[in-house]
Amino acid sequence: MGRKVAVEDAELMDRLGRVFRDVGYEGASLTLLAEASGLKKASLYHRFPGGKEQMAREVLETAGAWLDKHILSPLKGGGAPKDRIDDMVRQLDAFYSGGKQACLLNMLSSARIHDGPFTDLIRQTFDAWIEALTAVLTDAGVNRTIARKRAERGVMMLQGSLVFSRGVGTTRPFRSFLKSLPGDLLGTA
Amino acid sequence: MGRKVAVEDAELMDRLGRVFRDVGYEGASLTLLAEASGLKKASLYHRFPGGKEQMAREVLETAGAWLDKHILSPLKGGGAPKDRIDDMVRQLDAFYSGGKQACLLNMLSSARIHDGPFTDLIRQTFDAWIEALTAVLTDAGVNRTIARKRAERGVMMLQGSLVFSRGVGTTRPFRSFLKSLPGDLLGTA
DNA sequence: GTCTATAGGAAGATAGAC
DNA sequence: GTCTATCTTCCTATAGAC
């Protein structure tokens, strides 16, 4: 087992992820990442030989895995569609810290990497999210075409509410969005 | 009158703005800004003694003025509410190049400036936008509380559709959003 | 007003001791 | 695995000629 580890992998990813979410890829300096992680630069390079780019990629992959486990899988799993959606809303609230944390998919999609290695990962994550939401809505009896439209709108509203919340300096828009999301998706608004 | 000017102010702001929209504040290096503007670094400093921060601020102010002139004023002006909204949609399509250009309000809101000088400007721009949209909807006979909710949703969807479009690498979400915006706002969807 | 040249510092990344 | 010290490159910004 790995001994002499100052920070566990999960905790490390979480701390690095916070930096990337706060200031984006270009804004996340090694100094900032080192401070946030509690490790020195050289130690970060020991864990991520590929440097900042690898850190961002692994953070993105970790977030994708989290999304899959805590959001997408529960959406596909059993139970009433309404309950599954309510569960997603609770998880989203926690994941984005009630609207205080921006979304990695937004903050990393402008990374000026030579033909971005993140591009594919970001697109796949969006696609998977849309697909899972579409599935739960068809389970609820919604026509597939309509379901997909509502799923896309939901994901866009999530992104927009986070951008808007950050822009106006309050989490109200995000919280308000989360509240209306189940109704918007199921068409019971 | 100003002679010997290599690039006119309006054109200069446009070119600098494109860089900030593409790669954000931290990603916009002076080298990149110089290449895009057609001026050398030193020339940029002659026009913007405050450096990159001043460039971003003036670009943001210029965009705010454009928004006010081409979007907000027409919204307030005469004519049927539906026509005013349709007009806004056309202007938005042009301003964001059909979804290919990101929004400054999103790309600059994470600028790691000492307690951001952009923060206030961004919030004010969002507020003015919401207010103008709310006004045109009340003109259309919509209850003010409902109008404000729809205005906020519209602005959030705009931001979200741009983020999503960039993420999935196609402008379809943005164009689709623009198409449905008038109906969503007026409640005739 | 624009340029070439360069200063000064912060950035990403590495070497080698412990 | 983590650290201090260092290297190189890029960045922001300035000096001074034209």
Please compute, for residue B177, the number of CA atoms within 13 A of its CA located in the half-sphere on the CB side: 30
> Cβ(A40)–Cβ(A126) under 8 Å?
no
Q: Are the C-beta atoms of residues B74 and B30 closer than 8 Å to each other?
A: no
Place of tokens 């200031």: A23
CATH class held by domain A57-186: mainly alpha
The pLDDT mean for chain B works out to 95
pLDDT at A69 over 70: yes
pLDDT value at residue B114: 66
Is there a contact between B110 and A107 if contact means CB atoms under 8 Å apart? yes
* Number of other CB atoms surrounding residue A183 within 10 Å: 12
b/e code B90-104 from CB counts within 10 Å (16+ = b): ebbbeebeebebbbb
Mean pLDDT of B111-130: 88
* Residue ranges covered by each domain of chain B: 59-186
- Which residue, B125, B106, B95, B104, is CA-closest to B16? B104
Using CA atoms, how far apart are residues A94 and A98, in angstroms rounded to an integer? 6
pLDDT at B36 over 70: yes
Residue A179 CB partners (closer than 8 Å, separation 6+)? none
Which tokens hold the place of B97?
A: 């190049």
- Residue B49, pLDDT score: 98
Mean pLDDT of B141-160: 98
Q: Find out if CATH 1.10.357.10 is the number for domain B59-186.
A: yes
- Indicate whether B80 pLDDT > 90: yes
Q: Which residues of B touch A (CB under 8 A)?
A: 22-27, 102-103, 105-107, 109-112, 119, 122-123, 126-127, 152-153, 155-161, 163-164, 166-169, 173, 177
How far apart, in whole angstroms, are the C-alpha atoms of residue A55 and residue A181? 32
CB pairs under 8 A between A and B: 109
Residues A24, B110: C-beta atoms closer than 8 Å: yes
Check A123 against B167: CB less than 8 A apart: yes
The gap between B83 CA and D8 C1' (Å) is 59
CA distances to A14, B69, B94, B162 from B158, rounded to whole Å, are: 29, 19, 14, 6
Per-residue pLDDT, A2: 52
> What is the DSSP-derived secondary structure letter of residue B71?
I
